[in-house]
Structure 1
Amino acid sequence: MVKTNPGRFFEDYTVGETIHHAVPRTVSGGERALYHALYPARHALYSSDEFARACGLLASPLDDIAAFHVVFGKTVPDISLNAIANLGYAEGRWLKPIYPGDTLRSSSEVIGLKQNSNGKSGVVWVRTKGTNQRDEVVLDYVRWVMVRKRNVDARSPDTFIPELKPALEVGDLVVPEGLTFDNYDYTLAGEPHRWSDYDIGETIDHVDGVTVEEAEHMMATRLWQNTAKVHFDATLREDGQRLIYGGHVISMARTLSFNGLANAQIVAGLNAGAHANPCYSGDTIKAWSEVLDKAETNIPGVGALRLRLVATKGGAPFTLKGEDGKYLPHVMLDLDYWALMPM
C-alpha cells in the first residue's frame, strides 16, 4: 500500500467536488513578526494594537495578505502540488479580521476544468474558503491553476469554464465590524493622504525596490507551508532555478505600496490577478499603482479605492503591455484589488 502523496493531477479533479485540506494552523504574533521581517510591511493598522484599537478593532489583526498566504498554503498539496503555473485570481473577499489565537483551515470546491490543446495539462478552477475555529468564513477567493496530467492518454474531464465577475462592486466588500476612522492619526499612519485626495486614473510610482534573496523566499514558502515542487526542487525546471512563490511577489509589492498609499490600510477585495512573468532570486522588485475606481462604503468615514498594483523587475514605471496585448517582460504581477481607507 502506497502511503506517500504524489499530489493530484488534472484527470483527478471533478467539477462540484469539495476538498477539505489538511493541517489547520493557529496563528500568533510570530506570524506578524516574521511577515514584517520578510517584507517592508509598515501599515499602521497591522503594526500597532493601540492604533488598531483607536480604529475600533479588538487589536492589530494579521496582515490581510499574510492571512491569504495561510489559507492558500493549506490548498497547495491538493490543488497545485503538480502545477505548472498559478494563472489568476478573482472574487476574493476578506470577511473577518484574523487575530492571534485564531485557527484557520481551508476547503476548496472545484468549479471548472479545461484540458489544454497539447493534451499534457489542463486548467483547474477552485473556490477556496478559509474558516476559523468558530466555523466562520474569514476569506474566500477563486483561483485557477495549470496542472500536469499524470497520463497524457487519460480521458479528459468534461470542459466547464465558470463565469466570474470581472470585478467586485463596493457592495460586495465587507467592512470589519466596529471599524471607524473617526480617531485616525495621520501622523502615526505615516502620510496625510486620504480617500478624497486620490483621483481615478492617477498613477503612483512607489519608488522603493527590494532584491529577492533565495533564503528569504525559501523561509516565506515554508512559513506558509506551501509545498509546490517548483518552489523547492530545482531539478523540476530546465533552467535549474527555483521559481519564486507568486505570493512572495504579492506581499513585496503590497508592502512597497506603503510609499504613496500608507492609508490604504485594509485589503478588502481581490478582483483579478495575473503572475505575468516569473520571478527568480536576484530580481529586484519595484511597484507602481493606478487608481481604477473609488466608492463610498456603507460605513461613514470609510472609503474604498480600487487599485491596480503592478510589480516589476526593471523597466519604466507605468508600462504594462506591448502592442500585441501581452505583458512586457519586466512585469511580474498585475493585481486588481479594493482597499479601505479614511475619507
Structure 2
Amino acid sequence: MLKTNAGRFFEDYTIGDVIHHAVPRTISGGERAMYHALYPARHALYSSDEFARASGLPASPIDDLAAFHVVFGKSVPDISLNAVANLGYAEGKWLKPVYEGDTLRSVSEVIGLKQNSSGKTGVVYVRTSGLNQHNETVMEFVRWVMVRKRDENAPAPETVVPELKQSIDAADLVLPEGLDFSNYDTALSGDPHRWGDYAIGETIDHVDGVTIEEAEHMLATRLWQNTAKVHFDAMHRDDGQRLIYGGHVISMARALSFNGLANAQMIVGLNAGAHANPCFSGDTVRAWSEVLDKADTSNPSIGATRLRLVAYKGDAAFELKRDDGKYVPQVLLDLDYWVVMPK
C-alpha cells in the first residue's frame, strides 16, 4: 500500500475544499533568534521586551513575517508542493500578535480555480488562516499558485476567479490590543522620522544590499518547513537551479527597509504582492519603497502607512515596469502593505 504523499496536482482541487494542514508548531525564542540571524531585522518592537512593554504589549512578539512564514509553510505540502510558482497575495491581515509559547496551525479554503491555456498547469486560489492554541485567528491571507497537472488530458474545471479587494480599507486594519505609542522613544528605535514625516508619493532608497547565499535560503526553507520542490530540489528545474523561496526575498526586503523606515514597526495588512522575477543564489537584493497612502487609526498615537516595497537586483532603483506593463527583469518583488507607525 502506498504510504507516501506526492502532493496535490491541479485536478485534485475543488472549490470549497477546506484543508487542515499538518503539523502544529509551538513558537520558541529560537524562532526569533534564527529569523534575526537570517535577515538584518532590527525593528525595536520585535527586538526588545522592554520596548514592547513601553508600547503597551506584554512582551516582544515574534516578527510579523516570521509568524507569516510559519503559517504559510504549513500550507505548502497541501497547496504548493507541485507548484511552478507562487503568483500573488491579497487580503492579508495580521489580527493578533504571536508570542513565544503560542502554537500555530493553518487551515486553507479553495476559493478559485483556473486552468491555463497550455493545459499543463492551472492556478489555484486559497484563503489561508493561521490559528493559535485558543482557536483564535492570528492572521489570514489569500494567495494564488500555479500548480502542475498530473494528467494533461484531465478535464478542466469550471473557471472561478474570486473577486479580491485591491486593498484593505484602513478602517478594517486591526491594532494589537493595548498597543500605544504615546511614550515612543525614537532614540531606541533608531530613527527620528515619525508618521507625519512621510508624504504620499515619497520614494525611499533603502541603500543597503545583501547577496543571497545558497546556505541561507536553504536554511530558511527548512526552518519554515516549506517543502515546495522548486526551492530545495535542484533536479526539479530544467536549469538545475533552486528557486529562492519568495518569503526569503520578502523578509530580506523588509529588513533592508529599516534604513529609512525604522519606525514602521508592525505589518498589519497585506494588500497585494507579486514575485515579479525569479531570484537565485548569488543575486544581490536591494530595496526601495514608495508611500502610497496614510490614515489615522483608533489610537491617536498611532498612524497607518500604506507602502509599496520593491526588491530588486542589479541597478534598478525606482524602476518597476516597462511601457508594456511588464516588470523590468531586475525586479524580484512588488509588495503593497500597511504598517503602523508612531505619530
Tell me the CA shift for residue 155 of structure 1.
Answer: 1.4
Residue in 1 that maps onto 2:126: 126
Deviations 1:184-221, CA, capped at 9 Å, x for gaps = 11000000000000000000000000000000000000
Q: Output the CA distance in 2 between the equivalents of 1:123 and 1:226.
A: 19
After the TM superposition, which parts of structure 1 deviate over 3 Å for at least 4 consecutive aligned residues?
none
Residue in 2 that maps onto 1:226: 226
Q: Output the CA distance in 2 between the equivalents of 1:192 and 1:300.
A: 18
Tell me the CA shift for residue 6 of structure 1.
Answer: 0.2
Tell me the CA shift for residue 315 of structure 1.
Answer: 2.1
Tell me the CA shift for residue 316 of structure 1.
Answer: 2.9
Residue in 1 that maps onto 2:328: 328
- Listed as ranges, the gaps of 5+ residues in structure 2 are none
Deviations 1:221-262, CA, capped at 9 Å, x for gaps = 000000000011111111100000000000000000000000
Residue in 1 that maps onto 2:281: 281
Residue in 2 that maps onto 1:11: 11
Tell me the CA shift for residue 70 of structure 1.
Answer: 0.2
Q: Output the CA distance in 2 between the equivalents of 1:300 and 1:293.
A: 17
Residue in 1 that maps onto 2:246: 246
Identical pairs, percent? 76
Number of residue-to-residue matches in the alignment: 343
Deviations 1:244-300, CA, capped at 9 Å, x for gaps = 000000000000000000000000000000000000000000000000000001112
Q: Output the CA distance in 1 between the equivalents of 2:314 and 2:256.
A: 15
Amino acid at match of 2:164: L
Tell me the CA shift for residue 20 of structure 1.
Answer: 0.3
Tell me the CA shift for residue 61 of structure 1.
Answer: 0.2
Secondary structure of the residue that 2:196 maps to in structure 1?
helix
- Contact map agreement 2:316 2:331 (CA 8 A) in 1: no
Residue in 2 that maps onto 1:83: 83
- Contact map agreement 2:267 2:337 (CA 8 A) in 1: yes
Secondary structure of the residue that 1:237 maps to in structure 2?
coil
Deviations 1:155-185, CA, capped at 9 Å, x for gaps = 1111100000000011111000000001111
Asked if 1:269 is matched to 2:292, the reply is: no
Amino acid at match of 1:104: L
Residue in 2 that maps onto 1:55: 55
Secondary structure of the residue that 2:22 maps to in structure 1?
coil
Asked if 1:309 is matched to 2:302, the reply is: no
Amino acid at match of 2:187: T
Residue in 1 that maps onto 2:38: 38
- Listed as ranges, the gaps of 5+ residues in structure 1 are none
| TM value normalised by structure 1 | 1.00
Superposition RMSD in Å: 0.5
Q: Output the CA distance in 1 between the equivalents of 2:38 and 2:213.
A: 10
- Contact map agreement 2:170 2:295 (CA 8 A) in 1: yes
1:20-169 to structure 2, matched below 5 A, reads 20-169=20-169
Farther off after superposition, 315-324 or 78-87: 315-324
Q: Output the CA distance in 2 between the equivalents of 1:287 and 1:4.
A: 41
Q: Output the CA distance in 2 between the equivalents of 1:242 and 1:41.
A: 24
